Structure 1
Amino acid sequence: MNAQVLIDSIVRQVTVLIAQLATSGGIRAPLSHVANQVFLDLARELEEQGLSRKVSADMFGMALRAYIRKVRRLSEAETEKGRTLWQALLDFVRAEGLVTRERVLERFAADGELQVTALLHDLTESGLVFGSGSGKRAVYRVASDDELDRVAQLSDSSGADELAWVLVYREGPLAAARLGELLRRSPETTAQLIDRLVADGRVQVNADGTLSAREFVLPLGSPAGWEAAVFDHVQAMVQTICQRLQQASTDASPLPVGGSTYSFDVWPGHPLEAETKAQLAELRQRLGDLRQRVDEHNRAHGVMPTHEQVVTYVGQCILQRNSEGEADDEFAR
């Protein structure tokens, strides 16, 4: 029961974060794919942890056959086995040149009108496909490379390089195709992005063609790359909690892994207000100095082929409270 309450509470917090990200800076990011993505990612992660499909289906409250069918439907297009429906739709519209929604629905009838329509909307919202008209007579065509570049400029995608960089650093080695999937970019746009990262020395191409990065550093206050910073923060927190949970379930020698949260009640004129609010800056300075010394040693002596990467995350927020201790901040719930 405690685990269920914890999961429900975390889902609520993550929902608040997703809603904030989806509307940050006045944007309206498409969310039609989120529910299916959460289900599929959860199913895959449960399988990675060694759970059978029967157990996973039971955890979702589904019959085994219905669970398998849903996983298969979301993983690949029923009309084109082995390929995601998103990619199959994009390739079909590209091949047709100009195609009506009626023709698309007819081609992908086995996948269901609701899902195909939602993905068409997602493709147009992402700028990969242009649409005109409404209903089944609406027409679609794939954006050209020049148009994609123009869309990128208009949507202020200045943080795309940094987001790709952190994905390669944290999840690499990555194949170029996989990076394109994570970024939701066309192969051509992904190739251009990789060329920039390699030219800047941020990313390296391995002998097998995969991509790796030796470091990921964003200067404090950088005008670009906030998306990459948010991803890095969230991944560090999630990995820390997961590793701590794994330690609790084994008898292995504990690693120096964990986290602590401290709250301080201060107000204007409080004798420790300034010291309390300065903790983030002081910790940044201390950890930045430590990283510089570690980097200098590693440059001088080389990095061992097998090594540990210690990830330390520091965060600080300030919540406005009233005299009864209730939150005035709309995100503190």
Structure 2
Amino acid sequence: MNVRLLIDAVVRQTTVLIAQLATSAGLRAPLADIANSVFLELATELEEQGVSRKVAADMFGMALRSYQAKLRRLTARRDAEKESVWEAVFNFVREREVVTRAEVLGEFYAEDDATVRGILWDLVESGLVFQTGSGHSTAYRFASDQDFARLAGRDEHASALALIWLHVYLHGPISVDALSERLGYEPAVVEDALDTLVDEGRVTRSSPTQADAPSYRSDVCVIPMEDPAGWEASFFDHFNALVTAACVKLRNTRLQSLPSDAVGGSTYSFEIWEGHPFAGRVLGLLSDTRRELSKLREEVDAYNADNRPSHAQTSRVTFYFGQSVLDNSNDDDDEHGEAR
């Protein structure tokens, strides 16, 4: 198997996915530091898998000294941006009634322009700052207490709840600090969301000891299909399931697909047209599978509620599936088709 070609293909498709996410719903998410972020994430993951820095440097096509220097530089820059520049921009906007983009960029002229713009965008997206205008004339106003009160009921809160619930389900038992590090939320935000999830019975909190902080777990995570606030969590859940299955398959070095496999995936494509005798069965695969799996999950959950063993080791089985429909009106390239 040509692993290099496979990696190139995965990177291309992942790039398409990131671009779609960055522009979804008309948004323009900042991408200035994505290459550096990918480098740091890859380096960290390689170390966690036991790959030495010397070997990792060779995999990146770099000398060991250059690799280590880049790691130190990017790590320091990331930490500085998170702890210093972000906070400084935040305080600069907060201390003024209204400030323009040009004024902010002028104040932080020594910093990377894309970084400062990205922080401003993050402040607006998080609801801490309101934005009006365009270009260098764009004006920013820090949100007042009354603004925060109105924003408290927005979908972002529900989205955060869904995402935190999902991560508790996937990685629990897990602490507030660990969740905060994984998701990038402030610990106070995570703790507040967990209190809500515990009160609603969706998450269980362990009793803290003198040595350890409380941890959280969830045996079930169900986000209704009609819930508009949970799409980020649902999207991540599906992507995480796909990547996890692929990684488990690779770790087991079983790269062939066998009908009896309990780990893996299969892809089926059908070509249909209006009036096709099998169109209804093919297009109904998604809804039929959802209905069948929902019934099975209810039966399993009902049984587990009364019969869960106290000490036996359990296995979590994750079944993922998806369906897309492309209108191949332009036969030259499927990417020009319309996905529904």
1:307 aligns with 2:314: yes
Q: Aligned AA for 2:326?
A: L
Taking structure 1 as reference, are residues 145 and 52 closer, same or farther at Cα in structure 2, changes over 3 Å only?
farther
User: What is the distance in 2 between the residues matched to 1:143 and 1:36?
Assistant: 31
User: What is the distance in 2 between the residues matched to 1:98 and 1:73?
Assistant: 31
Taking structure 1 as reference, are residues 44 and 128 closer, same or farther at Cα in structure 2, changes over 3 Å only?
farther
**TM-score (ref. length: structure 2):** 0.78
Taking structure 1 as reference, are residues 126 and 67 closer, same or farther at Cα in structure 2, changes over 3 Å only?
farther
Tell me the residue number matched to 1:124: 123
Taking structure 1 as reference, are residues 297 and 153 closer, same or farther at Cα in structure 2, changes over 3 Å only?
closer
Conserved? CA contact 2:57–2:67, under 8 Å: yes
User: What is the distance in 1 between the residues matched to 2:245 and 2:31?
Assistant: 27
Pairing of 1:225-264 with structure 2 (within 5 A): 225-248=230-253, 256-264=262-270
Tell me the residue number matched to 2:100: none
- Greater Cα offset, 83-92 or 267-276: 83-92
| CA drift at 1:7 | 1.4
Taking structure 1 as reference, are residues 18 and 249 closer, same or farther at Cα in structure 2, changes over 3 Å only?
same
For residue 214 of structure 1, the aligned residue among 212, 215, 219 is 219
Tell me the residue number matched to 2:65: 65
DSSP-derived class of the 1:267 partner: coil
Tell me the residue number matched to 1:86: 82
Q: Over aligned residues, Cα RMSD in angstroms?
A: 3.7
Pairing of 1:26-105 with structure 2 (within 5 A): 26-76=26-76, 85-91=81-87, 98=95
Among all aligned residue pairs of Structure 1 and Structure 2, give the percentage whose two residues are the same amino acid.
Answer: 38
Pairing of 1:120-199 with structure 2 (within 5 A): 120-121=119-120, 123-127=122-126, 130=129, 150=150, 156-199=156-199
User: What is the distance in 2 between the residues matched to 1:53 and 1:327?
Assistant: 41
Q: Aligned AA for 1:87?
A: E
| CA drift at 1:217 | 0.4
DSSP-derived class of the 2:324 partner: coil
| CA drift at 1:169 | 1.3
User: What is the distance in 2 between the residues matched to 1:15 and 1:298?
Assistant: 40
1:288 aligns with 2:294: yes
Tell me the residue number matched to 1:318: 325
DSSP-derived class of the 2:326 partner: coil
**TM-score (ref. length: structure 1):** 0.80
Conserved? CA contact 1:240–1:257, under 8 Å: yes
Taking structure 1 as reference, are residues 37 and 312 closer, same or farther at Cα in structure 2, changes over 3 Å only?
same
1:13 aligns with 2:19: no
Tell me the residue number matched to 1:135: none
User: What is the distance in 1 between the residues matched to 2:176 and 2:6?
Assistant: 37
Conserved? CA contact 1:145–1:188, under 8 Å: no
Taking structure 1 as reference, are residues 186 and 317 closer, same or farther at Cα in structure 2, changes over 3 Å only?
same
User: What is the distance in 1 between the residues matched to 2:71 and 2:292?
Assistant: 47
Conserved? CA contact 1:124–1:130, under 8 Å: yes
DSSP-derived class of the 2:334 partner: coil
Q: Aligned AA for 1:240?
A: A
| CA drift at 1:274 | 0.4
| CA drift at 1:175 | 2.3
| CA drift at 1:125 | 4.3
User: What is the distance in 1 between the residues matched to 2:115 and 2:331?
Assistant: 50
| CA drift at 1:203 | 1.9
Q: Aligned AA for 2:271?
A: D
User: What is the distance in 2 between the residues matched to 1:282 and 1:181?
Assistant: 38
DSSP-derived class of the 2:267 partner: coil
Unaligned residue ranges in structure 1 (runs of 5+): 133-137
Conserved? CA contact 2:326–2:337, under 8 Å: no
What are the superposed Cα offsets for residues 192-229 of structure 1, whole Å, 9 maximum, x if unpaired? 22222221122222234122222110122223201110
Conserved? CA contact 1:127–1:148, under 8 Å: no
What are the superposed Cα offsets for residues 220-239 of structure 1, whole Å, 9 maximum, x if unpaired? 22232011100000000001
1:272 aligns with 2:271: no
What are the superposed Cα offsets for residues 81-108 of structure 1, whole Å, 9 maximum, x if unpaired? xx564134445567887498699869xx
| CA drift at 1:243 | 0.9
Conserved? CA contact 2:176–2:215, under 8 Å: yes
| CA drift at 1:267 | 0.7
Conserved? CA contact 1:33–1:119, under 8 Å: no
Conserved? CA contact 2:329–2:337, under 8 Å: no
Q: Aligned AA for 2:23?
A: T
Conserved? CA contact 1:58–1:64, under 8 Å: yes
Taking structure 1 as reference, are residues 217 and 64 closer, same or farther at Cα in structure 2, changes over 3 Å only?
same
| CA drift at 1:245 | 1.2
What are the superposed Cα offsets for residues 110-134 of structure 1, whole Å, 9 maximum, x if unpaired? xx646863664454344476599xx
